[in-house]
């Protein structure tokens, strides 16, 4: 059996534990009604969609890797879009449709999407790309199915690290070698129990994908996210020690980024198939996005 097929088989059972835990199921059933720190965290990520939903009400969306009750799709629907959630594990999507949380869903392997070219205005993939065994196949599939743009919210690549951090790492590695200790590969332990390597993404990689396809523009916004066990049950109130701690960590990492000591750990990336309108461009910039117009291929 091929490695990627083994990964597919494991991913088709990824929600097995959640399906048997009624407390967790209740959380995700009512996710947008429960004012939790976890919802606060994910709203920070999902707000990348707001400029598109504001500018193009009623637009058609596909969400990829959205198997946990179709939460991304639900956000789109709440804000006036029409969305179809998909996943390789549809156990919770089946329950979501049965319980009236979502209208419909479809089984789909992200690396071989069962849709015609340009079937949707937009395709969104939130925190799923890094689980795929062959994720760049999925990027091209998403681009094939989208008419206007694809949008990803994913862990940000830490390579290359800022220069100061790289110097500190070289000193640390030098010390380890003097002591006769092994210098670990930077990707050691970057595998998940579900069987996949964690593919973080970078601005440069996605610009090259867009350039190779002669696409007009990309946009991106880096940000920091912090997860702590228990955020699913804690309210984001001013007197919550956990909420204060999480916001403090976000501010600290943002400062480290400015000082050249660290990268932000998450990124929103958009690849446009058609040039963004001035209004959309303005809305994205107000949200903190940098829009990059790409050079045209003069030979095509």
Structural domain includes residue 263 = yes
pLDDT at 176: 79
CATH number, domain at 206? 3.40.50.150
- pLDDT tens-digit readout, 7-66: 777 667 776 666 666 666 667 777 787 789 999 999 999 999 999 999 999 999 999 999
The total of other beta-carbon atoms located within 10 Å of residue 229's CB is: 7
Please give the Cα distance from 127 to 64 (Å, whole number).
Answer: 10
Structural domain includes residue 117 = yes
Structural domain includes residue 87 = yes
Please give the Cα distance from 28 to 115 (Å, whole number).
Answer: 27
- pLDDT tens-digit readout, 124-135: 999 999 989 899
Q: How far is CA 12 from CA 4, 96, 121, 157, 231, in A?
A: 12, 17, 27, 26, 26
pLDDT at 185: 73
Please give the Cα distance from 296 to 278 (Å, whole number).
Answer: 19
Residue 259: band (very low, low, confident or very high) from pLDDT cuts 50, 70, 90: confident
Structural domain includes residue 300 = no
Total domain count for the chain?
1
pLDDT at 15: 65
Please give the Cα distance from 232 to 24 (Å, whole number).
Answer: 9
pLDDT at 20: 60
pLDDT at 31: 78
Task: Say which residue the tokens 């789909």 belong to.
Answer: 108
Structural domain includes residue 298 = no
Structural domain includes residue 299 = no
Average pLDDT, the chain: 89
Q: Write out the residue range of the structural domain in which residue 170 sits.
A: 3-293
Phi, psi of 250, rounded to the nearest 5 degrees = -65, -45
pLDDT at 162: 64
Going by their DSSP bridges, the two strands 266-272 and 146-155 should be labelled as antiparallel
């Amino acid at each position: 059996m091929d490695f990627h097929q083994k990964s597919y088989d494991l991913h088709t059972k990824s929600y097995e534990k959640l399906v048997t835990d009624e407390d967790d199921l209740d959380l995700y059933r009512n996710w947008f009604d429960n004012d939790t720190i976890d919802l606060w965290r994910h709203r920070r990520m999902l707000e990348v969609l707001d400029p598109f939903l504001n500018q193009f009400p009623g637009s058609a969306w596909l969400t990829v890797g959205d198997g946990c009750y179709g939460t991304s799709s639900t956000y789109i629907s709440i804000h006036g879009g029409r969305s179809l959630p998909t996943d390789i594990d549809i156990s919770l999507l089946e329950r979501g449709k049965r319980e009236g949380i979502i209208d419909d869903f479809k089984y789909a392997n992200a690396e071989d999407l069962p849709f015609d070219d340009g079937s949707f205005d937009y395709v969104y993939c939130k925190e799923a790309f890094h689980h795929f065994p062959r994720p760049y196949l999925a990027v091209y599939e998403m681009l094939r199915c989208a008419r206007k743009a694809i949008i990803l919210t994913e862990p940000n690549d830490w390579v290359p690290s800022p220069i100061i951090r790289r110097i500190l790492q070289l000193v640390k590695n030098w010390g380890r070698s003097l002591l006769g200790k092994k210098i670990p590969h930077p990707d050691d332990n970057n595998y998940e129990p579900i069987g996949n390597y964690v593919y973080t993404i970078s601005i440069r990689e996605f610009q090259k994908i867009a350039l190779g396809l002669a696409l007009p523009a990309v946009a991106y916004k880096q940000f920091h996210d912090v997860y702590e066990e228990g955020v699913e049950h804690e309210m984001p109130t001013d007197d919550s020690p956990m909420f204060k701690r999480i916001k403090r960590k976000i501010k600290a990492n943002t400062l480290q980024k400015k000082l050249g000591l660290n990268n932000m750990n998450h990124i929103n990336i958009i690849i446009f198939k058609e040039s963004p309108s001035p209004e959309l461009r303005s809305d994205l910039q107000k949200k903190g996005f940098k829009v990059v117009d790409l050079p045209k291929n003069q030979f095509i």
